[in-house]
Structure 1
Amino acid sequence: MTDLAERLTNTEREEHWPNVRPKDAASLVLLDRSGKVPRVLMGLRHPGHRFMPNVFVFPGGRVELADKSMPVHGVLDTDSERRLGQHVSRPSLTRGRALAAAAIRETYEETGLLLGTTEAGAPEIPAESWKPFEEKGVFPDLEALTFVFRAITPPRRPKRFDTRFFAADVNAICAKVDGLVGPSSELVETRWLTFAETEKAELPAITRVILEELRTRLDAGFRRELPVPFYSMHRGRFVRVALD
């Protein structure tokens, strides 16, 4: 077991909730590498949330049915597509595409940032949750995303997610809607933080692990062929598997 997996195991607490099947979810790590040191966009969750209140996280959430049929620009790279199909019961390109689209949609809903291209006209949306992309004439751009991390919430928790984390460069942002971050929103504020600054922030244990894995990936050149770490709990202990 890796040191990071051991750390996660040591921070876990026993829970007695009924065990439920984890739901597919997606999250997005936005990177700004324009300065001397890279920064990541993080949002502070509302203190009234039942699930992970008052901590900094990456934007993300559950996959919705409409994410499967939302028109997009381009496709995921072949390495990301292949790895998204590993260690799942029913792998399909549609499922991987929906996960990537969900990461883009959730990023908009929580931060007001739209990732994509405006060069292809306005998309025909499948549901109201994608309405802002139609209004701004933005096609979500899957080519801008790279699959970089996966984690499954341990059993016996009030909510369980099988979350795939994607990374994208800040240059992928092509539009913004104000007013989605604030005191009455899911994220009360967002910040661009250096890795050194994240060490001082209030973060869930899994988020710290993601940041350390991400920093290692950046140090190795952030090449798409690098393996993707996958963390899940087995027999009471976290295990790290490399998706090649």
Structure 2
Amino acid sequence: MDVMTKAEVDKVQRIALDAKPIRPRDAATLILLDRKGDEFLVLMGRRHARHAFMPGKFVFPGGRTDPADSRIPVATALHHEEQARLTAGVGRTSPARARAIALSAIRETYEEAGLLIGQKGAFATTRRDWQGFAEHGVRPSLEALRFIARAITPPNRVRRFDTRFFSAWREDVAVELPDGGPTNELEELVWLPLAKAREADIPDITRAILEELEKRLVDDPLLRPGGSVPFYRLVRNRFVREIL
């Protein structure tokens, strides 16, 4: 488990301030939604207090992208409008890289929350990280994913990620494991109404993404493909919001 004491985190942060900016790594997060009458609920988990990155914060399931995820067979591909937005914007994002990023959101949701998104059916792979899908007979599916937002961690941080935020519905979960995922990254999983989720102990960028999502759901409660995607990043020491 990747954990550090507070003193170790403080030391790394002091070193990071004097070091060259770290190149951000691809990462993906999944915002899983459910409906309760006219209310939308979102799945969030609390990170362990000893984690080096955002300790004790409520976050969405997610993590770093493994380029090898691009080679995982799927039941359905990304919607073409979602792929177009994933490959647009700063930096070159090839279709294979976009596919790996999207699949990493699905993999991390299984690992951290025990939720397998896809379709029931025979699935086989030699990749150890995906054996849970093979064991439970779930073929990963990308068609249900919606690209919601993108954010790059500012320079001079302990960890830097170029994170793509996706959403899916609880009904897209083919298997829900009662004991959660195998990594124990999140010590508490809760379904929260969007308004309450924004009031939880969450990172500022998470709150901003929730506000973006809430506005989008007002205009499009079905989250149809092709919605606008806000992109947050630091430009000339100023945090900016662009639309992909």
- 1:153 corresponds in structure 2 to 153
Q: Output the aligned Cα RMSD.
A: 1.9
Q: Quick check: 145-154 or 75-84, which moved more?
A: 75-84
- 1:139 corresponds in structure 2 to 139
- 1:117 corresponds in structure 2 to 119
Q: Distance in 1 between matches of 2:149 and 2:198?
A: 19
- Residue type matched to 1:133 in 2? F
**Does 1:90 pair with 2:64?**
no
Deviations 1:161-208 (A, max 9, x none): 0010110011001112233469x9210011000022113310100000
Q: Distance in 2 between matches of 1:88 and 1:233?
A: 12
After TM superposition, the score normalised by the length of structure 2 is 0.88
- Residue type matched to 2:206 in 1? T
**Does 1:21 pair with 2:23?**
yes
- 1:178 corresponds in structure 2 to 178
Contact 1:17 1:158 in 2 (8 A): no
> For residues 157-168 of structure 1, what are the structure 2 equivalents within 5 Å?
157-168=157-168
Contact 2:148 2:166 in 1 (8 A): yes
Contact 2:111 2:181 in 1 (8 A): no
Q: Distance in 1 between matches of 2:229 and 2:91?
A: 18
Contact 2:110 2:181 in 1 (8 A): no
SS at match of 2:39: coil
Deviation at 1:36, TM superposition (A): 2.4
- Residue type matched to 1:172 in 2? D
- 2:197 corresponds in structure 1 to 198
- 1:7 corresponds in structure 2 to none
After TM superposition, the score normalised by the length of structure 1 is 0.88
* Unaligned segments of structure 1, at least 5 residues: 1-12
Deviation at 1:20, TM superposition (A): 1.2
Q: Distance in 2 between matches of 1:159 and 1:35?
A: 39
- Residue type matched to 1:190 in 2? L
State the aligned residue count: 228
SS at match of 2:129: helix
Deviations 1:48-106 (A, max 9, x none): 11110111100000111331111111111122111111124333211111111100000
Contact 1:148 1:166 in 2 (8 A): yes
- 1:40 corresponds in structure 2 to 42
Q: 1:32 to 1:41 in 2, by over 3 A?
A: same
